[in-house]
Chains A and B, each alone.
Chain A
């Protein structure tokens, strides 16, 4: 909180010659209800989440932007009761843990069956002049090109299964961008950390050529020296994207082998709006036998290095606009080594311009000890009102 106070003090002393400026406010309120079970006749574990997001943006003039965004969440239900009863887990503490350089997460109240938390996930000042742009504070730096797995997204990779967190977490960093052309830019990011092993110093250069977007990145990301490349383009009208990132522990450079994480994807949209999407991820350090399971309820910090626990995962998706109001979606992930899998059917319905219903399933299958085995089936129902 001390760090936060410092920033607020600095910001409050920046004065602006112009009066007024523009103010922007938006947000949403979501109610997410879920049921988790191994078998439909076994006991269900239900969970409820009231999730409010507030976004404030202030533009004092053409050059400056100030942004503050927060999520307020009330967790309640059996899942909370169950996880809170595990002494070794400290579930309220897990929810409150910020994970960034600044501690901007706070539990207002918590009990055996509820937790009320506020997390500020965007908090930054942005200055743009000429071809330059500088942004400092907590913000998202997204270097991904693919639509599912992003090995190039070295700052805030996310778990695909955490579908309810649409905005994804932010990174505490200073980002300097220089736009070298209409579709090209060079940038440098310094990620704040208490210790050199938590800091990052990374550069990226991106440009367009032959109707493709290309990017190259390199630097130090926490403990790893990193080098990577990514692209987005098309083959016969279908999207063709890829990302390769190579990580090497900076403290064991004598070790000849680092870690390569790569993902390639293709997607095609038919005039009927039928959308097909396939992707593969390769992780050179991934397991080719049983990986041990993931837990989608307690998603630990995901990094570009552990997007999958296996050597390889395959992804397939088909979606279709059934009517302007209904959209259907079916996604699946397979671990070809241990045979475990994920299937996610979903349907969304527009109730009004700013109101949406979502029905979603996360069905995991596989033997004990496999990547997706032992998780069971999760059913979700979500009502979202945006304002």
Chain B
């Protein structure tokens, strides 16, 4: 009872103080809010365009190191934020494996042993098949819209296109490994062309460059993604999108364990 009362008082006090602060600093607080709203809207538009309502893609990921490289190819299906499926098509060693995400849950189907393995969340932050991408980067558990606070910090030209430079700071409760993310999004058509990932001590960890902008499957998208670890000469992971379809609906019912065993 007592605690409730204290909570109520604290709550009231905060509201009143906030109200006063807003009155005092209203002149500049309001434009910042508007600008914050703009930054969020730009990121939302970019994310919607990039992700689409649903998308089917084929891609090849190549891990490049100074003395060697390894490739893995896959087909992917996505519906909004919450549903995705990945089918490995090459190399032969991994072919046939399937990963599925439904909301917060993820499964891995291993056909050679007829085994459905439920993947715990701790596996999400692990590097995907030894690349510079994490499971999270590919399955996209965290959201650039939902999990961050956004602000425009400038404008720069990339690949001859004028871009907003937007800073993303993760929300306290968000399950994000980064301390800060900076996005470059084209002013004209909401495409992200560059992403910088910083750790909690504000050191640059990875840079992602997006290029080869073309029409594919009904949208103009960057078809080449490069993830470059900072301070590591000659190392990167490249994803080439070889086909995409944003037109054909991928139904929610597609993302089932039954279908994991059937797709190819």
Q: Which residues of A contact B (CB under 8 A)?
A: 22, 24, 26, 28, 59, 128, 131, 133, 139-142, 144-145, 147, 166-168, 179, 181-183, 185, 208, 211, 213, 232-234, 237-241, 267-271, 273, 321, 323-325, 350, 352-354, 356, 384, 386-387
Contact = CB atoms under 8 A, between A and B. Distances in A.
Contacts, number: 112
A239 B258 contact: no
Contacts of B258: 128, 131, 133, 179, 182, 185
Dominant secondary structure at the A interface: strand
Nearest to B103: A211
A354 B93 contact: yes
Contacts of A269: 120, 122-123, 125-126
Contacts of A185: 257-258
A327 to B, nearest CB: 8
23 contacts: A28-B92, A133-B261, A139-B114, A147-B117, A181-B256, A182-B258, A183-B107, A183-B256, A211-B104, A211-B105, A232-B117, A232-B118, A267-B120, A269-B126, A271-B177, A273-B126, A321-B130, A323-B130, A353-B71, A354-B91, A354-B92, A386-B91, A387-B92
Contacts of B255: 182
Contacts of B134: 271
B113 A140 contact: yes
B112 interface: yes
Contacts of B127: 273, 321
Contacts of B51: none
Given A354-B92, A354-B93, A140 B114 contact: yes
B256 A179 contact: yes
B111 to A, nearest CB: 9
B131 interface: yes
Interface residues of B, number: 42
A140 B110 CA distance: 12
B63 interface: yes
A179 B92 contact: no
Nearest to B235: A324
Contacts of A271: 125-126, 134, 177
Given A128-B262, A232-B118, A353 B102 contact: no
Contacts of A181: 256
Contacts of A166: 112-113
